[in-house]
Structure 1
């Protein structure tokens, strides 16, 4: 499973937040640290994901929506059979 960065961005936009506003809510002085995470240039740690989810209105029990399941190619082929 990997963090779905597109989902994080979509949720941010749906809530009407800019990257600047997200960074401010997370306690960062500029948007750069947030933007780097949302764009995949810097990894998002578990604590950071929890804080991002909280800012977006999600509880820690709902963090699963921010993950995508990676299915290896071989397993996909077997599922189609």
Structure 2
């Protein structure tokens, strides 16, 4: 499985957050968040936990951020 960055962006936007606003909720700079959303920097387990909290999602929704890997 791979992390679905497009879904991350879609969920952020659906909640009405700009990258700047969302980054602030996560306790990081917009640049640091933008690198994660663009796939330049990997999203850690800690990052994912903060993202889920910031979006108000519980652990049961974590699977929406993952896509099956194609081989």
Aligned residues: 71
What stretches of structure 1 move > 2 A for 4+ residues in a row? none
**What is the TM-score when the length of structure 1 is the normalising length?**
0.82
**Unmatched segments (≥5 aa) in structure 2:** none
- Bigger-Rg structure (1/2): 1
Query: What is the TM-score of this pair, normalised by structure 2?
Result: 0.92
Relative contact order, higher structure (CA 8 A, sep 6+): 2
Counterpart in 2 of 1:37? 36
Q: In the alignment, does 2:62 pair up with 1:57?
A: no
